[in-house]
Amino acid sequence: MAMGTRDARPDAEAKPLAAKRPKTGGRVKKSLDQMLVEARIRDELAGMNDDTVLPEELAAIYLGISVAELRELRNPPKNGAGKGARLKMIKPIRADAVGQNQKVLYKLGALRDFHESNTVESSFEAAVNAGLYGFVSIHAPFFAQPEKRSDRGRATLLGKAWDRGDPDWARRFSDVFEGKLRVVWLTSAAAASSRWAILKAHKAFSKPWLAALKVEGQAVRAALEGTEISEVAAEGKREPAPRG
């Protein structure tokens, strides 16, 4: 064989490229047929009484989530955040059981209560129910007075622009179109610390924000209890020694 016809690389025979590894995690898109099957199961479960006991698989279908998501709901909220109702479960443990990996069951009544407690009218309401994180992360529309040069960029708020239960909601939207009012987008934290034209409206809006802060503060204090940080804080509260 002529030298010129030989491939210089030792692995002259090219190997086929390895197949791309499938992605893991994330949501799995269900087929239309599968969604219809689960919808029929939910319809059948809806006719059963509250004392009906369901395994994890059927409980997840009833709530419209995966079994993995259902298991996450059993975990306690982080740092005490969130005020929504927790999902109650049935977990029989035998006296001779080893470990905690026991079968979990759910009463249909508990699933209905959980479903109702997490039914909201907007993403904003869901974020509020999530606790402090929702207040500092999600933006929402607020009615505000027309901006004046003396405001220096600070809005004076009148109310929530998404609250159709407000008797002044329709009139205020009309004023927005006429240029008499404006709509600003703020986080709840920013809105709570803004100026409001009506003190009563400000207090009503800030109440859940202050409750979220209280829960977070309690969680932080509980986490620091008995640590070196708490000891340092205690020392800082001691009265200073009298001067000579």
Burial of 212 (C-beta count, 10 Å sphere; 0-12/13-18/19+): buried
**Cβ–Cβ < 8 Å for 89, 107:** no
**Cβ–Cβ < 8 Å for 108, 48:** yes
Which of 158, 156, 160 shows the shortest CA–CA distance to 121?
A: 160
What's phi and psi for 186, nearest 5 deg?
Answer: -135, 160
C-alpha to C-alpha distance for 144 and 157, rounded to whole angstroms: 4
Residues 6+ apart with CB under 8 A from 212: 81, 83, 131, 132, 135
Both structure tokens of 130: 């999530």
Element at 49 (helix H, strand E): none
3-state secondary structure of 24: coil
What's phi and psi for 141, nearest 5 deg?
Answer: -85, 140
pTM of the model: 0.45
CA dist 187 to 31, 134, 162, 237, Å? Answer: 37, 8, 14, 34
pLDDT tens-digit profile of 204-244? 888 877 777 777 777 777 777 767 665 655 555 555 656 65
pLDDT tens-digit profile of 46-86? 999 999 999 999 999 999 888 888 888 877 555 444 445 56
Angle, vertex CA 223, rays to CA 217 and CA 224, nearest 5:
90
Report the mean per-residue pLDDT for the chain. 76
Give the model's confidence band at 124: pLDDT under 50 very low, under 70 low, under 90 confident, else very high. low
Angle, vertex CA 65, rays to CA 126 and CA 208, nearest 5:
15
Both structure tokens of 101: 């990996």
Report pLDDT for 111: 92
**Mean pLDDT value across residues 94-103:** 68
